[in-house]
Amino acid sequence: MATPWWVNLLLLVPLAAYGAWRRQGLALKASTLLTTAVFGSAFGFLEAAVVVYLRAASGLLPGYAGTLADVRQLAKGVYQQPQSLPQLPQSLLTLELLREAATMIMLVAVALLSATSRRERCAAFLWTFAAWDICYYAALCATVRWPPSLSAPDVLFLIPVPWLAPVWFPLLVSTLAIAAVLLTRGKNRSSAATARSLPDRKQA
């Protein structure tokens, strides 16, 4: 599982969100989910590119002077997040901390712009975060053939201390977050349809 121990509590976030949203549902439009998912996916690729740049700048990514095919061939099995972290120069490590903080600010800003109520904004944040997280790993796999497996260890965040977990852990949290949003949004539509049908039944 993840370390420090409290990182494991992230698994409870989408479950708690589903429990809080399932009665009243979510009033998020399909267009809102689509645009925020596109943003999160593009942002995930951007972060993966930044990680590749950091490794190349630190001399930890063989083949980067050639093509992406060279990188995929030569970096396979070499790219290891936890082991390479101590090898990053302090200047780049500081920038990485600031980049992580900026990433969270941007995801929160998108959520605030996507909805008006607190519950929908929280849902939009989880939804966008999940798309960002999943596409981040997909982009790394496509470019540097990492992770080699879902059990590979990864550094999830550096704030306030490094969060370490196998790759399947953040992917599971993100998948549960997506499921929580989709399931509760569907219930909102069903409840709304039932409410609209009540006056017709009374008239009949």
d(CA 41, CA 128): 8
User: Is position 84 within any domain?
Assistant: yes
Rounded Cα distance between 194 and 153, Å, is 47
| pLDDT score at 58 | 79
Evaluate whether 15 touches 180 at the Cβ level (below 8 Å).
yes
Does the residue 16 lie in any domain?
Answer: no
Q: Which pLDDT score, from 0 to 100, does residue 111 have?
A: 96
Q: What is the pLDDT of residue 195?
A: 41
The per-residue pLDDT for 131 is 97
200 domain residue, yes or no: no
Q: Is the dihedral of CA 139, 141, 144, 150 positive or negative?
A: positive
Low-confidence ranges of the chain (pLDDT < 50): 188, 190-198, 200-202, 204
Cβ atoms within 10 A of the Cβ of 168, count?
A: 15
Q: Is residue 192 part of a domain?
A: no
> Does 1 map to a domain?
no
**Domain interval for residue 91:** 27-186
Q: Does any domain span residue 64?
A: yes
How confident is the model at residue 139, as a pLDDT? 94
pTM: 0.85
* Total tally of structural domains belonging to the chain: 1
In a domain, 198, yes or no: no
* 39 falls within a domain: yes
CA dihedral 166, 171, 177, 182 (to 10 degrees): -160
pLDDT given for residue 190 in this prediction? 46
What is the model's pLDDT at position 84?
Answer: 66
